[in-house]
A and B are shown apart, each in its own frame.
Chain A
């Protein structure tokens, strides 16, 4: 039997790194050696990138629900409106050059139209105001299926929309970036901006969920283990 030579091989101490991770390290080290940025700059940028999340976008939606004047600004100049929630798109890190493109658009849901965002070409996402994409947003599975079978994919997220609500998919393929402004749900009358911000989760801002009183985190999707996992 020639195929059982590795059955007793010891388990790897760390997961193998991918080709892209090796490439990133190589490019980063060359940049540091050339003096394009320092290791300290890189650490600061990484820490910045890892701490941003969807809270500013959630607050933007909550403020717009409460303040019609602010909502007008959100719908006409979302980059300017971002400043009120602490995000300066032109200088998001407080150092260095602008990151990401700076044409942010807010897609306003109505009782009869529901928006959902995807990028079929890669994973375009308004990172300065929403943080990093969830892993599923980057998967070819979500990207190729959402444009074609949006209702079925939304149902997999637990969002089943009635036929009288039209689904509008936004395929974010150029320099515009998008967030969804859901309809303010019933049962939130008299709520403060802080209370409203809590229920506008990341998934609501992408459009794969709707805000609900009492729900303040994204749905945990069950992970089905592969029956025949790929052998590396």
Chain B
């Protein structure tokens, strides 16, 4: 018989939604604010991650501070006791892809990270 509590998520999320059910659980205010320049860390991801390889090492700008939630690297294994702030970061496409045409230098890409992946530039 599994010891895993399969109704835990339904109990905390019903009526509030997920990620709203994790509001206030990051243990403090967000470290970064909209407009901050951040670099994406290149950390090991041997088990599970949602941090795309194409963003590793790239520098972008915080576009939105979204919500608090456990990081997927933890949540995938049922560890939901610790949350982090999440950020939508905006990159210039020419900073992500070496062959991106200079004629479209203002094209951008946005994607989301938990705080552990970001460092101030």
Contact = CB atoms under 8 A, between A and B. Distances in A.
B107 A167 contact: yes
Interface majority SS (helix, strand, loop, mixed), chain A: loop
Contacts, number: 95
Contact of B17 (A79, A120, A121, A172): A79
Contacts of B96: 147-148
A49 interface: no
Interface in B46-64: 50-52, 54, 64
Interface in B93-121: 93, 96-97, 100, 103-104, 106-114
Interface residues of B, number: 36
How many chain A residues sit at the interface, stated as a range, is 20 to 34
Contact of A98 (B17, B50, B93, B107): B17
B60 to A, nearest CB: 12
Nearest to B14: A97
B74 interface: no
A212 interface: no
Nearest to B114: A174
B13 A168 contact: no
A54 to B, nearest CB: 21
B66 A168 contact: no
Given A103-B67, A173-B52, A166 B17 contact: no
Interface of B: 10, 13-20, 50-52, 54, 64, 66-67, 69, 72, 86, 88, 90, 93, 96-97, 100, 103-104, 106-114
